[in-house]
Chain A
Amino acid sequence: MLFAWGMLVGLTFLFLVPREAAGRLQMTYARVFHWPLALGNGMVRVQATTQVRNVNPREHEAVLQANQQLRTQSLNLQAQLQEAYGRIEKLTKLRAQPGLEQMQPIPARVIMPMQDELTINQGQDRGVAVGQYVLSFTDTLLDHQCVIGVVSDVSARGARVRLITDASSHIPVTVGSFTVPWVLDGRGEGGGRIANVPDTYTIRARDAVYAQPRQGFLDVPVVVGEVVRSRRDPDRPIVQEITVRPMCDIAALGEVVVLRPVSTP
Chain B
Amino acid sequence: MRWFRFAVLVLVASLLQTGLVRVIEILRPGVKPDLLLILLVFFALHASSREAIVASFAIGFAADLSNPVVSRLMGPRMVSFGLFGALLADLNSTLSVRRLLYQAVTIFLMGFLTAGLSWLLAFLRADRLSVNLAAALFWQPLYSAVIGPFLFLPFGWWMRMPGRGPGRLRRFRWR
| Residue positions of A touching B, CB distance < 8 A | 2-3, 6-7, 9-15, 17, 19-20, 22-23, 25-26, 29, 33, 36-41, 43-44, 47
Task: Check B75–A14 contact: CB distance below 8 A.
Answer: yes
How near does chain B come to A52, taking the closest CB pair, in angstroms?
16
Task: Check A10–B18 contact: CB distance below 8 A.
Answer: no
Q: Which chain B residue has the least Cβ–Cβ distance from A5? A: B57
Task: Check A40–B18 contact: CB distance below 8 A.
Answer: yes
Task: Check A2–B53 contact: CB distance below 8 A.
Answer: yes
Known contacts A37-B19, A40-B19, A47-B23; is A23 also within 8 Å of B71 by CB?
A: yes
Which residues of A lie under 8 Å from residue B83 when comparing CB positions? 7
Task: Check A10–B82 contact: CB distance below 8 A.
Answer: yes
CA distance A39 to B65 in the complex (A): 19
How near does chain B come to A43, taking the closest CB pair, in angstroms?
6
The proximity string for B residues 52-76 relative to A, scoring 1 for CB distances below 8 Å and 0 otherwise, is 0110110011001110100111111
Task: Name the one of A6, A14, A41, A43 contacting B76, with C-beta atoms under 8 angstroms.
Answer: A14
How near does chain B come to A42, taking the closest CB pair, in angstroms?
9
**Looking at chain B's contact residues, is the secondary structure mostly helix, strand, loop, or mixed?**
helix
Task: Check A6–B53 contact: CB distance below 8 A.
Answer: yes
Which residues of A lie under 8 Å from residue B56 when comparing CB positions? 6
CA distance A40 to B25 in the complex (A): 13
Which residues of B lie under 8 Å from residue A38 when comparing CB positions? 19
The answer, yes or no, to whether B171 is at the interface (CB within 8 Å) is: no
How near does chain B come to A41, taking the closest CB pair, in angstroms?
6
Task: Check B57–A9 contact: CB distance below 8 A.
Answer: yes
Task: Check A40–B20 contact: CB distance below 8 A.
Answer: yes
Task: Check B74–A22 contact: CB distance below 8 A.
Answer: yes
Task: Check A44–B86 contact: CB distance below 8 A.
Answer: no
The answer, yes or no, to whether B168 is at the interface (CB within 8 Å) is: no
Known contacts A39-B19, A44-B22; is A29 also within 8 Å of B79 by CB?
A: no
Which residues of B lie under 8 Å from residue A26 when comparing CB positions? 65, 68, 71-72, 74
Interface CB pairs A-B, < 8 A, 15:
A6-B57, A6-B78, A7-B79, A9-B57, A10-B78, A14-B74, A22-B74, A26-B65, A26-B68, A26-B71, A36-B19, A40-B15, A40-B22, A43-B20, A44-B23
Task: Check A15–B75 contact: CB distance below 8 A.
Answer: yes
Which residues of B lie under 8 Å from residue A17 when comparing CB positions? 74-75
Known contacts A23-B72, A26-B65, A26-B71; is A43 also within 8 Å of B19 by CB?
A: yes
The answer, yes or no, to whether B146 is at the interface (CB within 8 Å) is: no
How near does chain A come to B121, taking the closest CB pair, in angstroms?
6
CA distance A137 to B86 in the complex (A): 84
Question: Closest 5 interchain pairs by CB?
Answer: A40-B19, A14-B75, A23-B72, A13-B75, A6-B57
Q: Which chain B residue has the least Cβ–Cβ distance from A12? A: B75
How near does chain B come to A168, taking the closest CB pair, in angstroms?
72
Q: Which of B19, B54, B76 has the most CB of A within 10 A?
A: B19
The answer, yes or no, to whether B160 is at the interface (CB within 8 Å) is: no
CA distance A230 to B143 in the complex (A): 100
Q: Which chain A residue has the least Cβ–Cβ distance from B87? A: A3
Task: Check A10–B19 contact: CB distance below 8 A.
Answer: no
Which residues of A lie under 8 Å from residue B78 when comparing CB positions? 6, 9-10, 13-14
CA distance A44 to B66 in the complex (A): 17
Q: Which of B68, B71, B75, B76 has the most CB of A within 10 A?
A: B75
Q: Which chain B residues in 87-119 approach chain A with CB under 8 Å?
A: none
Which residues of A lie under 8 Å from residue B74 when comparing CB positions? 13-14, 17, 22, 25-26
The proximity string for B residues 4-26 relative to A, scoring 1 for CB distances below 8 Å and 0 otherwise, is 00000000000110111011000
Q: Which chain A residue has the least Cβ–Cβ distance from B79? A: A10
